Amino acid sequence: MSGRAGRFGSGADYGRALLVAASPFDQDSLWRRYVKGLREAVVPRLAHTPLEDPLLQLIASRCCRTLAELETFFGKTLSARLAWAGRHSAEEIRFRLGAAVRRCIEAGAVRAFGEDGAAATVDTHTPLDGLTFEAVPAGRIIAVKGLSLASARALRHWLRLSETREWYPLDLLTALALLPDARLRQVALSRREYESGDYFNRLKQATAARELHVDIPVNRLRNCRIMPFYDEVRAIKTALFLEAWIEEAPLDAIEAEYDVSAGQLRAAADTLAWLAEAAASLAEAQDFAPAFTAALRDFADRVHFGAREETLPAARAVPSLPRPALLALAGAGLTRPDALRETDPARLERWMTAEQATALKRWADAETKAAPQESAGKPAAPILVVDERRPGRITLNGQSIALQEKQYRLLLALARRPGECVPYEDIYQQVWGDIIVEDNQMHYQKRMLVKRLAEAGPAFDTLIGTVPKRGFTLNLTREQVYVAETVTHAA
């Protein structure tokens, strides 16, 4: 035996374990702790884990599909031998497993079928014998992504409330950081940081102009009149420094401002990127709007790479590029394929290896060659391109810009009638349909859209005008706008 199992007292007659010490002090400490010290007791994981989480994984993998199969499987586990034996009767264990199955069904992760193959309705009094269980698409995503049912339930709640509203990075980062699966213990939070209330106040100031009536984590914190709990403040701190991270703030500046190490930041970014990707997969499995799902995937990549949206194509093209290289490209205005194609490889090699520079140039060449083919049949050099075949993203002055669902619909409504005053009634119908929203929502969405478009260039902050009491106008000519409508093929 070797490693932990090879330690003295593990049961085997002979074993070998290597302890590597960096100093005589560490050597003495390790010797007293691991050789002279008492061996820790073996604690089964299932004894301290909600049963519905491993149970869902078993059902999703089709390893166990009935209550009897689940009983047999769990009866062979270490938990059954060390934790349950002598404490719980077979009937009690069966009851606990049945309750866990019901929680999976109530959460919408599992469905039941009768012996005839028909879907069965399960409540607290329904016998589970004779039923077969199967994970629904969302349940399979929860199992594959390794989410707990508690985190999945919180994520799905946020998704339902956010598909048709204007969500923002700090909103989603806070929701992700507060999930049970976030486990942000590696992020240090001193007593001084907690008691100062600085991070809590920053959150309130950063979200002061945002809507308050939606039941999402960031709003629950904003409405709280007392100091949040310690772990909640830790989550707020994480959300704040990761917001700076995805806005391409330098790493050393984030470390200094938030008293966080590069390792802590990177670990938190990896964790929240995983959770954001899981949210996107859940949205896709539940048939949310494609633009909403695409925006979530873009956000997950932004958290992973620590980059703005305009930098993502280059980051995805060469995933091995270090973040300093991505920031250097962004600072030099070299994130677009056409700009990269004209750049001398020697310049790129200042920030990356020769192999990475070659891969980036190869991608830029392929993208620029494909662009003329995609634009066949379009008017010459349009300033604004809105392609309904790729909802949620537009091209403005050659730059690809991702938009939220409502922003995209609003711009599409105006792009179909460039230079005209589009009445408020027409815009409302095309953006919200029969859904009733607050009167100020249209102007709020317009402000957010203008702010987003202005990121492509200061001149675009006047791209959308307002005709008081009448509607909005897109200040472009028909020749400057190209709208690719969705083609419906006859059956």
| 182 in the same domain as 159 | yes
Residue 184 sits in a domain whose CATH number is 1.10.3380.30
Domain assignment present for residue 213? The answer is yes
The candidate with the shortest Cα–Cα distance to 151, out of 239, 275, 42, is 275
| 370 in the same domain as 402 | no
Here the tokens at position 83 are: 């934790």
Model confidence pLDDT, tens digit, residues 241-293: 999 999 999 999 999 999 999 999 999 999 999 999 999 999 999 988 888 89
Domain assignment present for residue 379? The answer is no
| 97 in the same domain as 219 | no
Q: Could you give the CA distance from residue 29 to residue 404 in angstroms, rounded to a whole number? A: 55
DSSP state of 10: S
Q: Could you give the CA distance from residue 176 to residue 198 in angstroms, rounded to a whole number? A: 20
Domain assignment present for residue 304? The answer is no
Please give the tally of structural domains in the chain.
5
| 233 in the same domain as 158 | yes
Domain assignment present for residue 307? The answer is no
User: Residue 132: enclosing H or E segment and its boundaries?
Assistant: strand 132-135
Model confidence pLDDT, tens digit, residues 332-372: 988 888 889 889 999 999 999 999 999 999 999 988 876 55
Taking only Cα atoms into account, the Rg of the chain, rounded to an integer number of angstroms, comes to 27
Q: Could you give the CA distance from residue 178 to residue 353 in angstroms, rounded to a whole number? A: 38
For position 2, what pLDDT does the model report? 45
| 211 in the same domain as 177 | yes
Domain assignment present for residue 145? The answer is no
Q: What is the pLDDT along the chain (491 residues), one digit of tens a residue?
A: 445 555 555 566 666 777 788 888 888 888 888 777 776 676 777 777 788 999 999 999 999 999 999 999 988 888 777 777 777 788 888 898 999 999 999 999 999 999 888 988 888 888 888 899 999 999 999 999 999 999 999 999 999 999 888 889 999 999 999 999 998 888 999 999 999 999 999 999 998 888 778 889 999 998 888 889 999 999 999 999 999 999 999 999 999 999 999 999 999 999 999 999 999 999 999 988 888 899 999 999 999 999 998 899 999 999 999 999 999 999 998 888 888 988 999 999 999 999 999 999 999 998 887 655 544 444 456 888 888 877 888 888 878 888 888 888 899 999 999 988 999 888 888 888 877 777 678 888 888 888 888 877 777 888 898 888 888 999 888 888 988 876 544 43
Residue 66 sits in a domain whose CATH number is 1.10.10
CB neighbour list of residue 477: distance below 8 Å, 6 or more residues apart = 418, 419
- pTM exceeding the 0.75 threshold for the entire prediction: no
| 264 in the same domain as 167 | yes
CB 307 within 8 A of CB 246: yes
Domain assignment present for residue 230? The answer is yes
| 254 in the same domain as 159 | yes
Domain assignment present for residue 452? The answer is yes
Q: Could you give the CA distance from residue 358 to residue 345 in angstroms, rounded to a whole number? A: 7
| 410 in the same domain as 363 | no
Domain assignment present for residue 489? The answer is no
Distances in Å between the Cα of 39 and the Cα atoms of 31, 42, 336, 365, 370 are 13, 9, 58, 60, 63
Model confidence pLDDT, tens digit, residues 433-474: 877 777 678 888 888 888 888 877 777 888 898 888 888 999
Residue 392 sits in a domain whose CATH number is 1.10.10.10
| 259 in the same domain as 157 | yes
| 163 in the same domain as 106 | no
Q: Which residues pair with 2 in a beta bridge?
A: 16
| 364 in the same domain as 264 | no
Here the tokens at position 364 are: 């830029």
Q: Could you give the CA distance from residue 170 to residue 168 in angstroms, rounded to a whole number? A: 6
Q: Could you give the CA distance from residue 480 to residue 10 in angstroms, rounded to a whole number? A: 76
Q: Which domain holds residue 440?
A: 384-484
Q: Which residue's entry shows tokens 């964790």? A: 271
| 123 in the same domain as 52 | yes
